[in-house]
Amino acid sequence: MMKKLLGAMSLLLILCILAGIPIAPAAQAAGKYWIGVDITNQITTVYRVSDNSVVRHMLCSTGLDSSPTPTGTFYMQQKAYASERTEWYYFRDYNCYAKWATRIKGGIFFHSVIYSSKSNSSLRTSSVNNLGKKASHGCIRLTVDNAKFIAQNCPTGTKVKIYKGAANPDLKQQLTGSYQTLKNGSSGTTVKKLQQRLWECGWYDGPINGK
């Protein structure tokens, strides 16, 4: 019986090769991280594959109810365009730019907050203010530094699990944080630190002078 089964499988393989039918490999995770996207809390978490320990939590914006982010387990796809996983990616359907776009499935990406043009000064502040809330057309928006981390550290084949988790207001509050209120005319060390941080995130390209 086993010989017959092996013979049948070999014959099927030969027929597929002769007919030019591709034999798709089974999906499997790649790299040292996997990613969870919790739609309920709007939090993306990177885990180590080796022990499931948390590498970093990130506030995100997933799809609006009218354009929801698909749920399920996916494996990051290869680039379809050279500009993927680079500093600037153009979304033709929406005439906008984002940084460090990494393809999850089809037209669904991890990417940064939104810019109107290929310039840091064109940042759409509403996309920043909406982090932690549903706001996208289905992609998963992140800060620039978080989108860059995924693009540079999570290769093709990385597992991505998108799901609706239990509410976790404490974790969300930790990620939101509370900061000293600054206003036009403020100056000093706090302003300088803010300018430096915004520059690192790609949201500011002016002088770092504390003013």
Residue positions annotated with a catalytic role: 111, 139
Q: Determine the Cα–Cα distance for residues 186 and 49; give it in Å rounded to an integer.
A: 45
| CB-based burial, 104-130: b 16+ in 10 Å, e otherwise | beeebbbbbbbbeeeebeebeeebbeb
